[in-house]
Structure 1
Amino acid sequence: MKMGATVQTGTGTAEHGSPDLLSKLESSDMLEEVVPESRRDGSLKMTLLWVTCQATVSNMYTGYLARSAGLSLGDLVWASLIGVVVMVGYGLLATNVGTITGQPHSVLARGVLGKSGSALASLLLAVTGLGWYGFQTVFLAQLFNGLFGLTHLQLFCVLFALVMITNNLLGFRSVSGYARLAAPILLVWGAYTIIKAIASASGPNLFAAPHVQQTQGILLTVGLLVGVAVYGNEPDMFRYARRDRGRNLVPLLVGYGLGMLVFPAAGYLMAELSSASTLGATMHFFTKFSLFGLTALAVVVFTINVVAVNDANLYEAVNAVQNFLRGRRRIETILALGVIGAVVAAFMQRSSSLQANFFIVANMCAVFLPCATIVMAMDVFLLERLSGCRRPAGQDGVPRAVTSWAEASPGNAAGIVAILAGLVVGAITGGLIPGTSGFGKTNVGIPSVEAWLTTIVIYLAAMLLVRVLPSYRSKQVLLGLPAAETAGA
């Protein structure tokens, strides 16, 4: 789209009324507008989308690691149940803030966190999206290495990363459409694998601890499961969900339930039944066991799974950068981030083991962006009730107006402090500080939950404090509120 061209959002009609494919692609995601009800999907479509985002080979890898670390299947089930409870609680906040406001994560951050806070949230959004994008690409290359004995894995990582940008070029509708295609395939595969594995296992011994020294606890497994399940930019996807009484509960329960219970168990059982000592050998067994020995079918299933997940990861990073570009140059943004994702994948493949990369990326993604998302959700749902203040409402009953860069406050001081405090706690407890002895290894409790609770406590305290402050100027600085004449308070 040329700079200065007038585009009719949703139609892709250029200034002189002629159809323009590039204009359609640029305007397809309504990055600076509230998604209208006419463009929203029902519970079934959102459930299929969320199942695809959660039913991942990465969750199978978590189960494989649990068995390798000496956990019993019963331990893994407990870890999965705890993870589901944690994620449903977080998901109700994160998804509904998108559904209710209809705004992308980075644009909503502009209205809640101000210019500096929005920049911070967008940076975290880009880092987490590209971190997972790189890891998933490396993971696919490693899976293919296990099946075919590939060499030059860095080259394949780069090629896979570049190819995976295709769906994002066509916008959210292409991402969600692909997910609806992938979901039934993944569900059938996962269910068949579990049923056959349980039928093949030796009854009472199924839940016995493996004959391996235990090197990993249940809480570390919970942390990895949460890291795989959390995106942080859930508002980006669920702004396309219709408002209903269930508050997105059905997509969340089905998606997290299948993704965090069925797929980790499938990975565990494959490791148990194969008795293989390497991921490659396990994947060979997996192909024979659940995919009838058809290597071509394994390639199709694994590729569909990783591409579907990476669609969401790249979409996350693209929307972050688009926040700075005011929704312009989307195609160039996707291409540029695809190249950066390829570089990240090549670096990961060369620098560390797959397990080390997984630990770091999972803990990083569970902490970084969700802290910002939680502040935004608390602001949308609790600000007026706790602080007595409110932000400008949008049109047609939308609770929040879209805030432009020019109208945004300099920053929400309390929100930024709450986010940074959560990041510090998560980094310390999750082994995310480079150069320290615990980097990539330390895990204290559930780092994500500890980081989120830190963020919640600080922002709650700030909203309660604002209620007793006499000066509106003080309130404005502390919470990044609009000017007095537009505040509506």
Structure 2
Amino acid sequence: MSQTNDYPLSAVPQSARKGFWSTAFVLLGFTFFTSTMWAGGTLGTSFSFGELLWIILIGNLLLGSYAAGLAYVAYKTGLNSVLLGRYCFGEQGSKLADFVLGFTQIGWYAWGTATIAIILVKLLELPEAYTTPLMIVFGFGFCITAFIGYQALALLSKISVPAMLAFIGISIYQGSIDIGGLAQLSNISPTDSMPFAAAITMVFGTFVSGGTQATNWSRFAKSGRIAVVTTLLAFFIGNGLMVFVGAFGAMIYQQADIVDVLVAQGFILIAVLMLFANIWTTQDNTIYNFAAAGCNLLRTDKRRTITVVGAAIGTVLAVFGMYNMLIPFLILLGTFIPPIGAIIMADFWFKHRSNPPSLDKIKLPAFDACGLSAYAVGSAAAYFSPWIAPLVGIVVSASVYALLLYIRSAQPVAKPSAS
């Protein structure tokens, strides 16, 4: 299989592994996303500045730790989450993870496609009739780098990530001047309210789907240290920065999206550049994730074909209004996705002792009752929990899976009856 196809159904060989900066730029480009800022904007109007910093710290530490744990498993095996799902859910049962993860990624793709078209129409004062055609153009245009593969994702991110950091720095500097110093943020009173647990769930949920599928790139890491550190950098610091930027804009300008903030600050050209860099670097990663899930679901290595099909589905969803469903979507992600990653990690450490056999050298059941049962229990616990749903889902699903593995191993093996 050629390297350009990025090994959709097999482990990444050592010859194709990447270094620290290549991995870091791809992951940071993935987490620099407008929707995370929107979530931060909701938090910025609901909490004091001190409370907000604690929410960002706790939520992104949980998210970063979860994603980093999966990153190490991906590095060690060379496999992504959908392929790792075969070990704990079974050959056919793993299609559950394919569907859940693929659906969420196509949802993000639809949201991003709608976002850039709507914002661009407003920003450039174009006729409303341009919105749908722009969604179609961007829906297929943003999948080009994903279609090419990892090398194109890395190249785009190496250009876009430093540029976005510079744009954010300019905006925060101007914002601090406009408010009379960053210390004045502590004097701003919240205008809305939200339970603390729901806020943590929102921060975790902003990118828990991405964190679960970031294994698509951490599996390319040359070492465990590179996989873990770059993932923490992206999901703790990078995602945390996006939440903070959204909250910062909402508190000062009543605008969560940094593009709108930059416009309010008078930086029109920078706003347009930020819009494209921000959306594109996540859109291509998102549709790449969908293609990975689709390849495992259909057991095909035609990643590029699945990429284009996914872009078409995402574009249709964008045209039909996915844009208006962000917040409920985030809560849903934070509830039903973390148990998948938790069970994958529990399987890696408890069942295989960090050394699973190659997929082509092991006979797996069609459906693994332990993994599927643990997922059902963990998801139910998260859904009905009054506390931090993602954390509850992770702890319960991993614990139940480990318990079921112990019970299964303790059962005596039936001996064949004598003839």
So what's the TM-score if we normalise by structure 2? 0.89
1:250 aligned residue: 229
Distance change >3 Å, CA 63–CA 372, structure 1 → 2: closer
Aligned equivalent of 2:168, options 162, 166, 190: 190
2:329 corresponds to: 361
1:62-87: per-residue Cα shift (whole Å, max 9, x none)? 2222233x322222211100112201
Is the 8 Å Cα contact of residues 84 and 256 (structure 1) preserved in structure 2? yes
Show the counterpart of 1:58.
35
Query: Does the aligned pair in 1 maintain the 2:378–2:393 contact within 8 Å?
Result: yes
Query: How far is 1:279 from its partner?
Result: 6.4
Q: How far off its partner does 1:407 sit?
A: 4.2
Deviates more, 1:215-224 or 1:163-172: 215-224
What letter matches 1:133 in structure 2?
A: Y
Per the alignment, residue 307 of structure 2 pairs with: 334
CA distance in 2, matches of 1:62, 1:251: 23
**Cα distance, 1:268 vs structure 2:** 2.2
- Residue among 85, 90, 95 paired with 1:119: 95
CA distance in 1, matches of 2:37, 2:295: 33
Higher relative contact order by CA 8 Å / sep ≥ 6: 1 or 2? 2
Moved more, 363-372 or 44-53: 363-372
Which of 20, 23, 44 is the equivalent residue of 1:67? Answer: 44
SS of aligned partner of 2:123: helix
The answer to whether residue 395 in structure 2 is matched with residue 417 in structure 1 is: no
Q: How has the CA–CA distance of structure 1 residues 106 and 256 changed in structure 2, closer, same or farther, with 3 Å as cutoff?
A: closer
Distance 2:93 2:413 in 1: 22
**Other structure's SS at 1:410 match:** coil
AA aligned to 2:231 is L
Please point out which of 238, 241, 261 is paired with 2:218.
238
How big is each residue's C-alpha offset from its partner over 1:165-188, in whole Å with a ceiling of 9 and x where there is no partner? 111211222223222222111222
Distance 1:306 1:283, change over 3 A: closer
Alignment equivalent of 1:312, drawn from 285, 292, 295 = 285
Secondary structure at 1:103 match in 2: coil
- 2:268 pairs with one of 261, 270, 295: 295
Pair member with larger Rg: 1
Equivalent residue for 1:262, pick from 231, 241, 246: 241
Residues matched between the structures, number:
410
CA shift in 2, pair 1:465/1:408, >3 Å: closer
Q: Which amino acid aligns with 1:340?
A: I
Residue 83 (structure 2) pairs with residue 107 (structure 1): yes
CA distance in 2, matches of 1:197, 1:62: 19
Relative distance call for 1:422 and 1:156 in structure 2 (3 A) is farther
Amino acid at match of 1:9: S
Distance 1:32 1:456, change over 3 A: same
SS in 1 for 2:275: helix
172-181 vs 190-199, which deviates more? 190-199
Per-residue CA shift, 1:339-378, capped at 9, x if unaligned? 11111212235xxx73xx1112212223333322221121
Which of 339, 346, 357 in structure 2 is aligned with 1:400? 357
CA distance in 2, matches of 1:299, 1:194: 17
Asked if 2 retains the 8 angstrom alpha-carbon contact of 1:133 and 1:310, the reply is yes
Structure 2, unmatched stretches of 5+, are none
Q: CA RMSD in A?
A: 2.6
Which amino acid in 1 is paired with 2:15? S
Equivalent residue for 1:445? Answer: 387
Equivalence map 1:3-402=2 (5 Å): 8-10=1-3, 28-68=5-45, 70-150=46-126, 151-152=128-129, 153-203=131-181, 204-210=183-189, 212=191, 214-230=192-208, 231=210, 232-244=212-224, 246=225, 248-274=227-253, 276=254, 283-289=259-265, 293-349=266-322, 354=324, 357-384=325-352, 399-402=356-359
Give the C-alpha shift of residue 154 in structure 1: 4.0
Deviation string 1:275-319 (CA, Å, 9 cap, x unpaired) is x4x669x85442242xxx343332221111111111121111111
The 1:234/1:284 distance shift into structure 2, 3 A limit, reads: closer
5+ long unaligned stretches in structure 1:
1-7, 11-24, 394-398, 430-443, 474-489
Q: For residues 239 and 208 of structure 1, do their structure 2 counterparts lie closer, same or farther at Cα, with a shift above 3 Å needed?
A: same
1:115 counterpart SS class: coil
Q: Is the 8 A contact 1:107 1:403 kept in 2?
A: no
Query: Cα 1:173–1:375, aligned 2, differ >3 Å: closer, same or farther?
Result: same
Do 2:259 and 2:275's aligned partners in 1 also have CA atoms closer than 8 Å?
Answer: no
Cross-structure match for 2:412: 470
Give how far 1:428 is off: 4.1
C-alpha displacement of 1:199 = 4.1
Deviation at 1:384, TM superposition (A): 4.3
Q: Deviations over 1:174-213 (max 9, x none)?
A: 223222222111222223323332344234431124362x
Question: What is the CA deviation profile of residues 41-81 of structure 1, one whole-angstrom value per residue up to 9, with x for unaligned ones?
Answer: 1222222222222222222222222233x322222211100
User: C-alpha distance in 2, partners of 1:209/1:294?
Assistant: 25
Distance 1:360 1:284 in 2: 23
